[in-house]
Amino acid sequence: MTTVVYEPPALAMIHTVPGIIPMFNKLVGRHLPDWRPFNMADESLLGNTIREGALSRETMRRLVTQIWSAVDAGASAVLVTCSSLGPAVDAAVPLCPVPLFRIDDGMAIKAIGRGNRIGVLATLVTTLDPTSRLIERHAQRMGRDISLTSRLCEGAFDKLRSGDKAGHDAMIREGLASIMEKVDVVVLAQASMANALNEMSDMVVPVLASPELGVLHMSSALNAHACAQGSSQK
């Protein structure tokens, strides 16, 4: 008699900041316990985008190569955790043979549900525009009129990259304080900013970070995808 060993579906996560990998492994374990995560990291995807000041076609092509590599490695779904690469993810979705997600979709949808005046806080200029455009796109789809207030915490990402997490988080909190009175909700444009919320208890407005909201959004979509596949096979 042959014993069938159950293999959980594999979720590939593509990162540009290796330090956030443990956080995402924990979130997947909490919200997608039936999935097996594996991680791929390439800091140069973000490094090149920062140096060039925008997401280039070459970097988009390289990310797509990473996505296809993840699929070839057995991934049944792929999550890209870098918001600066979001437009490349959008371009790849129609061609990808497995469900493909960008980390900030869940956060954008949640923010629109919290109010019309949305603050966008980022540590990289290359993330401000993609995040703002994503929120505007979801708002249009949902039939909502919104206004955006953006703030760049310039220099914070350099602190994080040099290992000064405390300095990075302090700059995030300063940035939040500067826009909270002007908006109904604030989104943190990068997953690497989420830890700054740990030491904040009295926030005037809701502050949303992408990691957990992104994983929850992905979990809901994957469950719906599984149900649809099951119905089609009956």
**Can you spell out the DSSP letters for 186-216?**
EEESSGGGGGGGGG----SS-EEEHHHHHHH
- pLDDT tens track for 101-129: 999 999 999 999 999 999 999 999 999 99
Residues 187, 117 share a domain = yes
CATH number at residue 172: 3.40.50.1860
User: pLDDT category, 161, cuts 50, 70, 90?
Assistant: confident
Give yes or no: residues 42 and 99 share one domain.
yes
Query: What's the chain's average pLDDT?
Result: 91
Place of tokens 């985008």: 49
Distance in angstroms (rounded) separating the CA atoms of residues 157 and 76: 32
Q: 16 with 90, same domain?
A: yes
* Separation CA 127–CA 4 (nearest Å): 46
203 and 218 both lie in a single domain: no
Q: In this predicted structure, what is the pLDDT of residue 57? A: 95
Rounded-to-integer distance, Cα 135 and Cα 141, Å? 10
Contact (CB, 8 A) for 138 and 217: no
207, 186 in Cβ contact below 8 A?
yes
Domain CATH number, residue 58: 3.40.50.2300
Same-domain pairing of 195 and 224 = no
Q: Write the DSSP symbol of residue 33.
A: T
Q: Which tens digits make up the pLDDT trace of 185-221? A: 999 998 888 888 877 767 788 999 999 999 999 999 9
- Please state, in angstroms and rounded to a whole number, the distance separating the CA atoms of residues 8 and 75: 11
Q: Are residues 219 and 142 in the same domain?
A: no
- CA 120 – CA 176 distance, rounded (Å): 9
Q: Helix H segments across the chain?
A: 21-31, 43-52, 57-72, 86-92, 105-114, 125-142, 156-161, 165-179, 210-232
In a domain, 82, yes or no: yes
Domain co-membership, 109 together with 198: yes
Q: Average pLDDT of 168-187?
A: 91
How many domains does the structure of the chain reveal? Answer: 2
Tens digits of residue pLDDT in 21-76: 999 999 999 999 999 999 999 999 999 999 999 999 999 999 999 999 999 999 99
- Looking at the fold, whether 94 and 122 belong to one and the same domain comes out as no
Q: Do 152 and 225 lie in a common domain?
A: no
DSSP label of 127: H
What pLDDT band is residue 90 in, cutting at 50, 70 and 90? very high
Q: Alpha-carbon distance 182 to 154, whole Å? A: 20
Token pair for 44: 């140069």
Q: Could you tell me the residue range of the domain that residue 171 belongs to?
A: 105-210
Output b/e per residue, 183-203; b: 16+ Cβ within 10 A. Answer: bbbbbbbbbbbbbbbeeeeee
Q: How far apart are CA 42 and CA 63, in angstroms?
A: 9
Q: What is the pLDDT of residue 1?
A: 54
Pair 183, 115 in one domain: yes
